[in-house]
Amino acid sequence: MSNDVVACPLSDLPDGEAVRLDLDVPVVVFNVEGELYALDDTCTHQDASLSEGWVEDCQVECPLHAATFDLRTGAPSGPPAVVPVRTHAVSVVDGDVVVHVGTPRS
């Protein structure tokens, strides 16, 4: 079941930036070359915020132990993380970035 949450106006999320949503399970939205990606904001290896990580080649690197996750699938690239992070569908509605929490990115 999807829970639609407005993250911010699209104009407030420029390319290369991220916005963190403090929900029951925190979510982060990344803008990478105009494409929007949303995932759970907590590294599955250890409790670290992925919104504080580095993004390159559609991967986010956890700032704590350098685990990387694919922004499209949530899959880790390898140890120390072995469990994927949950992805969420994202759309732009009337100029706002909307995260469809609980609906996987397709």
16: left (phi over 0), alpha (psi -120 to 50) or beta: left
Structure tokens at 102: 């609980």
pTM for the full model? 0.93
Q: What is the pLDDT along the chain (106 residues), one digit of tens a residue?
A: 569 999 999 999 999 999 999 999 999 999 999 999 999 999 999 889 999 999 999 999 999 988 999 999 999 998 899 999 999 999 999 999 999 999 999 8
**14-29 CB burial, b ≥16 within 10 A, e <16:** eeeebbebeeeeebbb
Structure tokens at 63: 């700032």
